[in-house]
Every structure is written in C-alpha cells, then in structure tokens.
Structure 1
C-alpha cells in the first residue's frame, strides 16, 4: 500500500529525515513513535503528500499503486482527496458548519452528488455514535465528539489510507481509549490502512507494527 525509499527532508541546513525506507501493507495499522524532533510528523506529512521530500535521485514514494512524486500539484491534490484521509490532534472542523456539513466537505470538493454524500455521511456518523449530533456545530460538541466527526470526515471518500497525527493527544483518557478502539473497528469494517504518529504508548502498542524514529531514521 505504501512503499517509501530513501526519503530525505531538509529545511535549510537542518536535515530532518535521513534516508527513510518504509513498507506498509494493505489493511495494516502502523504506529510511529519517537522523541520530539525525531522526524515523525515530517515523515507523516510526506507519506500523506502534504509535503514533498527533498530532491534525491534514489528517492521513491509509491502510494496506493501510484508514483506520487511524478504528479503535479493539481493531480496530487485530487489523488489526496480521493484516496487519503487525515485525522489531526486538533480536529480542525470548520466552526460555522454542522457536523454533517463538515463531514461532507471532502466529497463535495470531489464533486460527488450532494444528496448521496449526505446519506453516506449520516450513515458514518450513525456508525460512530453521533446520529443525534449531526446538526450540532463543533462548539456544541465535546472533544471526543469533535474528534469522531473528524474521523467521519476522513472516511467520507472511502480512502485507502488514513494518516493520523497525535489523534488522541487532546482527549481525556476515556475518550482516547474509545478513539483507539475505533481505529481497529474501522480497519476491520472498511479494510483501510492506518499510519498513526503518537506519543501514546497504549495506542502505539495496539498497532500491528510499531516503528520507532531516532534522529531522522527508523530504528531497527
């Protein structure tokens, strides 16, 4: 599902990633851990096509069967919206829209039918236990509910891969545990691949594989 070879990333004179190699299988849940500054989020952003690696003749990045390094920005944006989902520590919901409207946004950007999208969004929100919250705006939702809306938004286009960056970092213990279990339930139901950057050892250890980053590389 993901094949990355010789991923480098530098910002001016600071080398953040130092030749990362990574292979992730379909429907696998992989956690990435490491100290702050080890390069976890930078790697996640590159794997999620939110950033590009530094130029290197030997770098390769194949995602869902596509060589994303050859895509221009427009094609890459379309690919990202259709095939990749994102969950962040801070839910990044749009405050002026309801839960249902927030979930529908990626599908509407992809020009999918509005009525069909709303039906599918309601089904996902119901699956996530939010059937009675679809008309609430983010300010009327708890932290755990907001994060589940963000999960629903990540799912609406039926992405092959979901990237999560500290998804439970802003939640209390109970809400975090519920979110962690949800990822595994979703994998079992929808067969998606999950790549999760986290400092939460409980979540990291639940994954099929735990990768540890040290000084810009994956420790072996």
Structure 2
C-alpha cells in the first residue's frame, strides 16, 4: 500500500537521505531503527507528507502524493494518514474528546458523528473516563492513548508513529505496543514506527535498519 522510491533529502550541504526505497504492505507493522541522525524521522515525515523529498516518489494506495497541489495534499493527509508523536502534541486548552475530534472537524464531517466516534475510540483505548479532562490532568500514558485515538479518528489507512513510547515508562510502553497490534487486528491499519525500543522492533512484523541516510 506504500512505495517510497529513491528518496533523497538534504538541508543545505547536509545530506540526510541518500536514495532510500521502502515498500510496506497493507496491515503490516514495520519498525524503522537506527542511531540518531540516521534519517529515520526525516523519512517518516516525507512519507507522511509533512516534508517533501528533493528527489524520489512516494506512492500511497496508488496515488503519487507529491504530484498533488498543497490543498489536495492537505486533504489526503487528513483523511488517509494518522500521526502519533513522542510528545503527544495535544492542545492544552482542549479536552481529550475535543483533541481527538479536531481532525474530524477539519475534514468537514458531522460534528455529532465525529464526537460519537471520538468517544468510541477513547473507550477502545481505555481512557473514556478522561474524555472531559484536559491534558494537564492526565498521565503520560493516558495522553499518549488520547493521541492514538486522535490519529485514528478519520479511519486512516496508514499510521505513522515517531518514538511513540519514548516518554513512557516500561509498563505503559509495553501496553502501547500491544495496543498497536490490537488496533491492526481490529481495524486493518498499517503502522510505520520509528523507534529506539528494542522490544517493539523485535515484535514488529518487519524491522528496517537505517544508518547515515541509507537502509541496510
């Protein structure tokens, strides 16, 4: 469902990606591992359309995403790609329910239907009791589950996670990793996860190793 072909990316004189190609099948959970500076997050951001390659193509569900204009690209990202980040990026002034619902509001869906789905996802993720709480009233593990619910609200086919358990203790990290597999089994989403967590890499369907801008 995803094919990235010969991706190059540099910032000034610094070459980050040096002709990277990867292919990911629907329903796979793929981990990308490597030392800091290997190019993992840059590759993830390009796959997620948050950045553009200098050269190369990214095909998602048969669509050449960088042939789209900015409006088409933004719409595609909103509907087809969900993001989970290390630091949650929840908006502090909004409740858990509102944070989860925001991508649904942006996509123009019916407000009541979006909020109903948001509550369902919070329940699936075990944090429905936190629906009316703001992030400051939640633990790190609860905030990360809310961020996963937000990533799922538009039922995207692809979930991209950048060090999703990096700020969690071992118990919450293990629970989050299991959650990814449960969600894949329930909803058939595809996950690409940048991680330093050896356990997560070990249990993934496949692990991609990066070093100095290359896959090896």
Common topology (TM > 0.5): yes
Find the counterpart in structure 2 of residue 71 from structure 1.
68
Unaligned runs of 5+ in 1: none
SS of match in other structure, 1:91: coil
The 5 A counterparts of 1:61-210 are 61-210=58-207
Alpha-carbon distance in structure 2 between the residues aligned to 1:25 and 1:50: 21
Residue 122 of structure 1: CA displacement?
Answer: 0.5
Matched residues, number: 216
Alpha-carbon distance in structure 1 between the residues aligned to 2:28 and 2:66: 23
Residue 156 of structure 1: CA displacement?
Answer: 0.2
Unaligned runs of 5+ in 2: none
- Provide TM-score, normalisation by structure 2: 0.99
- Provide TM-score, normalisation by structure 1: 0.97
Residue 69 of structure 1: CA displacement?
Answer: 1.4
Alpha-carbon distance in structure 1 between the residues aligned to 2:202 and 2:13: 34
Q: CA RMSD in A?
A: 0.6
Residue 134 of structure 1: CA displacement?
Answer: 0.4
4+ residue segments displaced more than 4 Å: none
SS of match in other structure, 1:164: strand
Alpha-carbon distance in structure 2 between the residues aligned to 1:172 and 1:137: 21
